[in-house]
Structure 1
Amino acid sequence: MRITLLGATGPTGLQVFEQAVQAGHEIVALVRDPARLPQPRGGRVDVVTGDATNTEDLSKALTGSDVAISTLGAGKNFKSDIATQATRAFIPAAHAAGLQRVIWLSALGVGDTAGQTPTLVKFAIRVMMGKLFDDKAVADDMLRSSDLDWTLVYPMILTDGPRTRLYRTIDLPSSGKVGSRISRADVADFMLRAALGNEWSHHNVAVAR
């Protein structure tokens, strides 16, 4: 499978990148700084230098791929609007490239998924990351309203733990709360699984231990 990966140099994106390479997939990584990608990369990795909020750069990276996986994040910038910027550019770029399937990383607590978070976590999100999560909510709605074949992935607290494959997938919305911690490696594992089939097509999925 040929996968275009956005956010490949971030902590979760690196997990997707490494697991996809190990599994023998072809990877197209759209990055601003290729030097931040792991070395050696081998012949099944193409690197496109560009901006994930630029439609032309995205279209170039998406052309010829079977699926896109986005792990784009704002880092420590809690006022970032990268989610809406990237989604607004991605949708027309996907149309131009003839790509339909996309697996997109969001966060538990965004939009209607706030009801699945513990009260203290919900309060902390609103105080510390309210603007960032509001931006993500708009971006998620844009993707859901598009004609793309999307899966939105909602982890809560990401850790640097190992890939265990011992995680739960919860169709959202669901009754009750969702577990709080999940390793980036397990989130990457699920995103690649979702990319390989249609089981989670047009689903909002929480991933938790």
Structure 2
Amino acid sequence: MQLTVLGATGPTGQQVVQQALAAGHRITALVRDPARLPQRDDDRVTVVVGDATSRTDVEKALHGSDALISALGPGKDFKSTLATQSTGPVLEAAATAGVQRLVWLSALGAGTSGQRQSRIQASASKLLMSKLMADKGTADDTIARSDLAWTIALPVMLGNGSATGTYKALPLDSGTTRNGGKLSRADLADALLAAATTNKWTRQRIILTH
């Protein structure tokens, strides 16, 4: 498959790119700085220089793609509004480019999903990242109202480490159990790819945890 990846130079995006190439897929990466993309000279990777908040740039990156994976993250900016800034351009570009499959990385704690966080992580999110989580929640709701075949990924706290394949994918509306702990970015990338390359979890918000 031809997959467009937003946030390809970030820690999660890099896991997505590496695993996608290993699985035989081709990648189009929308990046602001190509020098930060280790795979920029790989024949299987098409690099489009631009910004995820630009509809024109996203549309260009979606040309010929079968699915879009957004692995955009705020970095260390706990007041980032990148999620809402990119949502509109992504949805408009996907509609214009005729790409139906969208896998959108959010976080457990975004919007009302905080009710499914462990109490410790929910308290930390409220104390340190309330603006960020509110912004992500607004973006998630916008995605969910779209006509695309979307999946919204809601991972618990992330860490580095190898892929285990033992993570759980739980529909957000499947119960009231709180979830905590840590998920490796490698396992998160595996889940994002599984969603993008199949019909798994279509039009669902999925909690990813161990």
TM-score bin (small chain): over 0.9
Q: Which residue of 2 aligns with 1:37?
A: 37
Q: Which residue of 2 aligns with 1:107?
A: 107
Question: C-alpha separation between the residues in 2 aligned to 1:206 and 1:145?
Answer: 19
Give the 3-state SS of the residue equivalent to 1:83 in structure 2.
helix
Give the deviation of 1:41 after TM superposition.
Answer: 4.0
Task: Report whether the alignment pairs 1:143 with 2:146.
Answer: no
- For residue 85 of structure 2, what is the amino acid of its counterpart? Q
The structure-2 alpha-carbon separation of the partners of 1:179 and 1:127, relative to structure 1 and needing over 3 Å to count, comes to closer
Question: C-alpha separation between the residues in 1 aligned to 2:41 and 2:161?
Answer: 23
- Map Cα deviations across residues 117-174 of structure 1 (whole Å, 9 max, x no partner): 1222212111110001100000000000111110000111101010111111111122
The structure-2 alpha-carbon separation of the partners of 1:76 and 1:94, relative to structure 1 and needing over 3 Å to count, comes to same
Task: Report whether the alignment pairs 1:204 with 2:205.
Answer: yes
**Structure 2: stretches of 5+ with no match in the other structure:** none
**Structure 1: stretches of 5+ with no match in the other structure:** none
The runs of 4+ residues in structure 1 deviating greater than 4 Å are none
Give the 3-state SS of the residue equivalent to 1:35 in structure 2.
helix
Give the deviation of 1:42 after TM superposition.
Answer: 2.1
Give the 3-state SS of the residue equivalent to 2:114 in structure 1.
helix
Q: How does 1:51-200 map to 2 (within 5 A)?
A: 51-173=51-173, 174-200=175-201
Q: Which residue of 2 aligns with 1:18?
A: 18
Give the 3-state SS of the residue equivalent to 2:129 in structure 1.
helix
Give the deviation of 1:39 after TM superposition.
Answer: 4.1
- For residue 18 of structure 2, what is the amino acid of its counterpart? E
Aligned residues: 209
Give the deviation of 1:179 after TM superposition.
Answer: 3.6
Give the 3-state SS of the residue equivalent to 2:134 in structure 1.
helix
Percent identity of equivalent pairs: 49
- For residue 73 of structure 2, what is the amino acid of its counterpart? G
- For residue 117 of structure 1, what is the amino acid of its counterpart? Q
- TM-score where L is the length of structure 2: 0.97
- For residue 50 of structure 1, what is the amino acid of its counterpart? G
- For residue 9 of structure 1, what is the amino acid of its counterpart? T
- Map Cα deviations across residues 1-59 of structure 1 (whole Å, 9 max, x no partner): 00000000000000001101111101000000111111464211100000000000000
Give the 3-state SS of the residue equivalent to 2:68 in structure 1.
strand
Q: Does the aligned pair in 1 maintain the 2:40–2:47 contact within 8 Å?
A: no
Alignment RMSD (CA, Å): 1.0
